[in-house]
Amino acid sequence: MVASALASTAVTVPAYAADHCTRPDTDTPLVIGHRGAPGYRPEHTLASYRLAIDMGADYIEPDLVSTKDGVLVARHENEISGTTDVADRPEFADRRTTKTIERKQVTGWFTEDFTLDELKTLRAKERLPQVRPGNSRYDGKFEVPTFEEVLDLAAQESKRRGVTFGDYPETKHPSYFDSIGLSLDEPLAAALRRHHPDRPDAPVFVQSFEEGISRCCTARSRCPWSGSSTASSATAPTPLSRPAANGRTSARSRRPETIRPSPQARPPGTRFPGVSSGLRPQSSGTRIQAMR
């Protein structure tokens, strides 16, 4: 379904984006496909992540929440009425409820009330149709992907293209999920170990807007983890250190100090809507900065 949808739509990828992944230019910023390429495809779908890679992203960034049976899936929030067709499914009408998430009352349908099999019957839709009206034509075409499927996509594209595409997951509401017995950190660390070597230079950054999960994950893995509480120190991020074939450090191995395009890094006027436009260095005492 994803392949056929992409094949039916011609996408022009700037020449710079097509080749920058293997350029040894150390001035090239690290590009994060934040939620994929949501300016062109509904966010957090395999189609969006794949297009982000096509457009030159070095890393793809899924937001992660849990299903009822403890499977990590990629959604902007655990309330899914705005990102799926669940409100149109009469068989799930009785799942609509109100919950308190981070001291706010939220009404709708929640991933933690659905098994993975049930969630897979839903279809993704554009979250902000008033902002990205063109994406509405893809409503109903794509499934909600699991984190494993996102990792598989990055691995498959890395093998196919001969370059390494990294993973930049963000855990959503980890304390809330922990409070209902669906901790995010254990399945996250386990999935990353299945796909990446457990070492500091693995092509992985984990974001969390709660300090606790970063500390828990750091204890479970040697991969780089990202904290996002207010910076209390200027702890430098740990750089990836994969040397290029010519002995110089490749763009992909540079630490993500920023991904805001510079005049030298991108041709004037070149923009990639839907690919993340900025990264703020922060630290919570772990090692990697967080994305806003």
Question: Within a domain: residue 192?
Answer: yes
- DSSP β-bridge partners for residue 106: 99
Question: What CATH number should be reported for the domain holding residue 24?
Answer: 3.20.20.190
DSSP type of residue 239: P
Secondary structure (3-state) at 72: strand
Question: Within a domain: residue 91?
Answer: no
Parallel, antiparallel, or unpaired for β 97-101 and 72-74?
Answer: unpaired
Question: Within a domain: residue 292?
Answer: no
Q: How confident is the model at residue 222 (pLDDT cuts 50, 70, 90)?
A: low
34 is catalytic: yes
Pure H helices in the chain: 2-7, 15-19, 46-54, 116-119, 147-161, 174-179, 185-195, 211-220
Q: How far is CA 83 from CA 3, 42, 96, 108, 123, in A?
A: 20, 8, 15, 11, 8
Domain that holds residue 141: 2-77+131-253
Which of 34, 44, 173, 196 is catalytic? The answer is 34
Question: Within a domain: residue 237?
Answer: yes
Q: How confident is the model at residue 223 (pLDDT cuts 50, 70, 90)?
A: low
Q: How confident is the model at residue 213 (pLDDT cuts 50, 70, 90)?
A: low
Secondary structure (3-state) at 290: strand
Question: Within a domain: residue 272?
Answer: no
Whole-structure pTM over 0.85, yes or no? no
Is residue 257 predicted with pLDDT exceeding 70? no
The residue type at 173: H
Q: What is the pLDDT of residues 21-49, one digit of tens each?
A: 333 455 678 899 999 999 999 999 999 99
44 is catalytic: no
Question: Within a domain: residue 228?
Answer: yes
Is residue 216 predicted with pLDDT exceeding 50? yes
Which of 20, 44, 76, 173 is catalytic? The answer is 76
Backbone angles phi, psi at 191, to 5 degrees: -65, -40
Question: Within a domain: residue 146?
Answer: yes
Question: Within a domain: residue 30?
Answer: yes
Is residue 264 predicted with pLDDT exceeding 50? no
Please tell me the total count of domains within the chain.
1
